[in-house]
Structure 1
Amino acid sequence: MRTIDVHEVIDNARFNRYHWMVMFWCALLLIFDGYDLFIYGVVLPVIMKEWGLTPLQAGALGSYALFGMMFGALIFGTLADKIGRKKGIALCFVLFSGATLINGFASNPTEFGICRFIAGLGCGGLMPNVVALMNEYAPKKLRSTLVAIMFSGYSLGGMLSAGVGIYMLPRFGWESMFFAAAVPLLLLPLIFYFLPESVGFLVRQGRTEQARAILNRVEPSCAISADDILSVGAAKSGSASVLELFREGRLLRTLCIWVAFFCCLLMVYALGSWLPKLMANAGYSLGSSLSFLLALNFGGMAGAIFGGWLGDRLDLSKVTAVFFIAAAVSISLLGFKSSPALLYFLIFIAGATTIGTQILLYAGAAQFYGLSIRSTGLGWASGIGRNGAIVGPLLGGALLGINLPLQLNFLAFAVPGAIAAIAMAVFAISSQRSLGTTADPALTAS
């Protein structure tokens, strides 16, 4: 009879087909999530014209989904620590896919906003739970890389949204973009069947037979038998209260994470919502302005993967701080007249260091918080960050409403990048100081 630490097995496991399977389904969920989130920026120029919306009204309408995401992250992140990640993910998936489908039937801004709020609840709850699940199953030496690759599905969803929009908007209208959300719902039985539950949650629930079966697939060489005792040494049996996020030396770093999430999501959603419209105002056609959204999300995917690779070799918080500096510089330069090649390059870098850095923040927060409070920590960080996501579209609408020069619009979008860089630098310094005095994991390389 052996006593086996569940997390030690997973941390030291060799990457195999089971890890690929978990990453595939998590990435697929985030593709659908990204499609639903970026769809508003794609249809915005059309619905503004159809419903006669002012920029400020359009910004407010775009924020409805983000209000929903804030509440969804706070509610479902904490709930999943109690009912399990798998149930929490399935519930969120049905919520945002169903609401997005119904959104296609909206006939006025009020109905549209209600559907976007409900969809936002599901989108906001899905992200922290998927990240927490992938983080739990990833081997320690590849954790940042695998979470980043998985989360690049979010950028793929944004690219899919822009690509579908280029084809479908002129032919079938904006409603068709939302009707396409019916397709993911058909995959729900497969997702629920193949997506595994958190092993730590299974052990705490006394479902040790299921936990053993999963661990034998994660690391077959362990050959765990029915006589072996499973333990979750890294987890505490206490509650998943939000107060735990501030205990045992976590106060300053939790606040830094919240500031970084707020600023990063402000930039992501300001650009995601208003980049096509800003470029259309600058004289580009609708198709061309949507192609900028493609470049933004392609950059996000590349930035996440490259940043995750760097994070597994260097200090992830320092990598994140440097990315934020690059975000501030690249977004500032977008407002100046450039050649098409340079413009696409700057948008690519902006995507890599905003969308990509958002993904690094999730990976870093998942590593910082212990198992018993991981979904709670991610949920609250994401929920606080959603306030920035709400401000982003509103800020863009307000700036367009007062007819500021293009350069000042982008400069305003860049300022949060500098603030976030400072927050992550403080996080890195605090983590280094705590290494000798606390056992809490920090955002350092494995």
Structure 2
Amino acid sequence: MDIISRLEQIPISRFHYKLLILTGLGWMFDAMDTGIIAFVLPVLANEWGLSAAQMGYVGSIGLLGMAIGAVLSGLAADKFGRKMVFSVTLIIYSIATGLCGVAWNYESLLVFRFLVGFGLGGELPVAATLMTEYSPPASRGRFIVLLESFWGLGWLVAAFISYLVIPRYGWQMAFYIGALPALYVFFIRLAVPESVRYLIDKGRQVEAGKIVAMLEQAAGIRPSTQPVATAKPESRQQVKRTLTFGELWTNRFAKRTIMLWLLWFGIVYSYYGIFTWLPSLMVKQGYTVLKTFEYVLIMTLAQLPGYFSAAYLVDRIGRKATLSIYLTLSAVSAYFFGQGGNAAVVLVWGSLMSFFNLGAWGVVYTYTPELYPTRIRAFGSGWAAAVGRFGGILAPTVVGYMVINPQGFAHVFTMFTGIMLAIAGIVWLLGEETRGRTLDEISK
């Protein structure tokens, strides 16, 4: 039996949950940083006298860094390994987050936010790729959605930091706390193995065989005593080939690439347009900063059951159905949230919007790496994420100009309703189902 077949037959064990937690904590730290800037912006706007357009640029510059980081890290991860790139990008964004705390003016903050985005954009697709390549086929969707659920935990941490720290110690302290994840790299280096599929793709069969034998032993399976098979001639040729952008547009992958790029652009546009601005938009609606933080904290709590429900459905009704349904219901919730009302109405629709939008995100990170083979999995995922980040670059700036209008709040959320309905239709029409299939079957 070859190494990949042995890997896929290993039942869910302590290792899978350990890897989920280790990669998930990195994911949580990413979200914590993204959330902190959303809560810091209304405070900075008051302290530095920032215009709505300048606030939008702060969100957009980080997403520009994420776009560049996603492409370069995807290329690096397919060339140098998932584990190394995961560690390096974590260090970059942690240090850059700490530097945001010493920003002396608007321009310096923009520079540091770009570096933060570069690290964040690099880590996310690589972490998802690593978890995808170790997850058993029958439960792969559930594991990746659970990985994405750590994003909700990170936003909760950001909300608590902002609620408890910023009013007492200032916005700088929130950024200093955001630098602490750099210390976490030491745990990653010791506890996270390199991807078995990556090692095999690079012709490092012996290393891959040792890792699989270790996992078999930990799961109570007797490790194979047969010699590790050497790479097939096709595999040796693939090792020597250079990754090219054009490979994403061959007949084999073009439809998948189009669907993923449109999906990523739309969901990132809506997410960053809504959630980067959410605290500031609520302040503009007349809520105090402290009350806004409380409401956003409640809405953030709704993200967690959104993830867990998507994790339950994604391996039962499939990627396409779950994603299309959650995007549609997020669109409906966004529309009614934009109509305003009393505090109870705002909280209900805001929580539902958060529930369905973040549940959809979990499926996006499940679906994307499944659609490319090992040798270009991180590269293809990185490009999809990068295209999405350009949606995120555009959205905060567009919202910044729209909210100047007296009816801007309602118009903003009507726009996001249309965007999410459009991408739900695109997924339904162009997507292909991957539920229950092995990665090798999908990539054929």
TM-score (ref. length: structure 2): 0.92
Q: Give unmatched runs, 5+ long, in structure 2.
A: 434-439
Matches within 5 A, 1:41-440: 41-220=38-217, 221-225=221-225, 227-229=227-229, 237=239, 238-428=241-431, 431=432
Shift of 1:231: 5.4
Distance, in Å, in 1 between the alignment partners of 2:200 and 2:126 is 18
Shift of 1:160: 0.7
Q: Which amino acid aligns with 1:9?
A: R
Q: Give unmatched runs, 5+ long, in structure 1.
A: 433-438
Shift of 1:298: 2.9
Distance, in Å, in 2 between the alignment partners of 1:108 and 1:328 is 37
Q: Which amino acid aligns with 1:267?
A: S
Q: CA distance change for structure 1 residues 48 and 248 in 2, over 3 Å: closer, same or farther?
A: same
Q: CA distance change for structure 1 residues 168 and 234 in 2, over 3 Å: closer, same or farther?
A: farther
Shift of 1:255: 0.6
Distance, in Å, in 2 between the alignment partners of 1:233 and 1:32 is 42
Shift of 1:226: 6.9
Kept after mapping to 2: 8 A contact 1:260/1:424: yes
Distance, in Å, in 1 between the alignment partners of 2:234 and 2:402 is 48
Q: Which moved more, 1:278-287 or 1:263-272?
A: 278-287
CA deviation vs aligned residue, 1:232-281 (integer Å, no higher than 9, x gap): 89975444322222224321221111111111011111122111111112
Q: Which amino acid aligns with 1:347?
A: G
Q: Which amino acid aligns with 1:131?
A: A
Q: Secondary structure at the match of 1:133?
A: helix
Distance, in Å, in 2 between the alignment partners of 1:234 and 1:95 is 36
CA deviation vs aligned residue, 1:165-201 (integer Å, no higher than 9, x gap): 0001110111011000232122221121111111122
Q: CA distance change for structure 1 residues 72 and 4 in 2, over 3 Å: closer, same or farther?
A: same
Q: Which moved more, 1:280-289 or 1:417-426?
A: 280-289
CA deviation vs aligned residue, 1:70-103 (integer Å, no higher than 9, x gap): 0000111111100000111111001100100111
Matches within 5 A, 1:32-47: 32-47=29-44
Tell me the residue number matched to 2:436.
Answer: none
Count of residue correspondences = 432
Q: Secondary structure at the match of 2:165?
A: helix
Shift of 1:218: 2.9
Q: Which amino acid aligns with 2:369?
A: A
Distance, in Å, in 2 between the alignment partners of 1:164 and 1:386 is 26
Shift of 1:4: 1.2
Q: Which amino acid aligns with 1:441?
A: I
Q: Which amino acid aligns with 1:99?
A: A
Kept after mapping to 2: 8 A contact 1:86/1:197: yes
Q: Which moved more, 1:55-64 or 1:228-237?
A: 228-237
Distance, in Å, in 2 between the alignment partners of 1:55 and 1:61 is 10
Q: CA distance change for structure 1 residues 199 and 50 in 2, over 3 Å: closer, same or farther?
A: same
Distance, in Å, in 2 between the alignment partners of 1:162 and 1:116 is 19
Q: Share of identical aligned residues, percent?
A: 27
Q: CA distance change for structure 1 residues 34 and 230 in 2, over 3 Å: closer, same or farther?
A: farther
Q: Which amino acid aligns with 1:402?
A: N
Shift of 1:309: 2.2
Shift of 1:230: 6.2
Shift of 1:121: 0.5
Distance, in Å, in 2 between the alignment partners of 1:223 and 1:183 is 39
Kept after mapping to 2: 8 A contact 1:128/1:378: yes
Distance, in Å, in 2 between the alignment partners of 1:194 and 1:81 is 20
Q: Which amino acid aligns with 1:313?
A: R
Kept after mapping to 1: 8 A contact 2:198/2:374: no
Q: CA distance change for structure 1 residues 288 and 318 in 2, over 3 Å: closer, same or farther?
A: same
